[in-house]
Homo-oligomer: A and B are copies of this chain.
Amino acid sequence: MYTHETRVRVRYAETDQMGQMYYGRYAELFEVGRVEALRSIGFPYKRIEENGLLLPVRDLSIRYHRPVRYDDEVTVRTSITSMPAARIHFRYELRDASDALLTEGETTLVFVDSRTKRPCAAPLDLVAALGPYFD
């Protein structure tokens, strides 16, 4: 398993009138966690697209345990839980400053050839870079 942490400050824009983060905006924090996890092993998502791949999301699930609030500095702990093949699976935890679990989530993304729009395999160098974490 490969795990990476990044921190995100909650914006006013992300709150709703309930005084907490709007339930749809958590997906953006997961995006940040996922992108920074990929960057940390040498695969900025931007470069993945430049190399002719897209990574649309196939499924998403979120459990909201405790509210995330305005101006909170949230730790996004992102894990790649298995070797990517045609798909890549991410698990997310949002934690507050005292490491309390606020939110859990999961996504599956699919590798797609941006020209043909058809599914394809994970890039070999991504597989190679993740290899050491799954031995």
Which interface residue of A13, A19, A44 has the most chain B CB atoms within 10 A? A13
Q: Is A125 an interface residue (CB 8 A)?
A: no
Smallest CB gap from A18: residue in B: B54
- Docked CA distance A58–B20 (Å): 13
Top 10 A-B residue pairs of the complex, sorted by shortest distance between their CB atoms: A24-B27, A15-B17, A61-B61, A23-B57, A46-B71, A13-B28, A60-B62, A17-B19, A59-B63, A15-B16
Additional A-B contact list (19), CB under 8 Å, known A13-B28, A16-B16: A11-B32, A12-B22, A13-B16, A13-B27, A15-B17, A16-B17, A17-B18, A17-B20, A18-B54, A18-B56, A22-B27, A23-B27, A23-B56, A23-B57, A23-B60, A23-B107, A24-B31, A35-B71, A58-B63
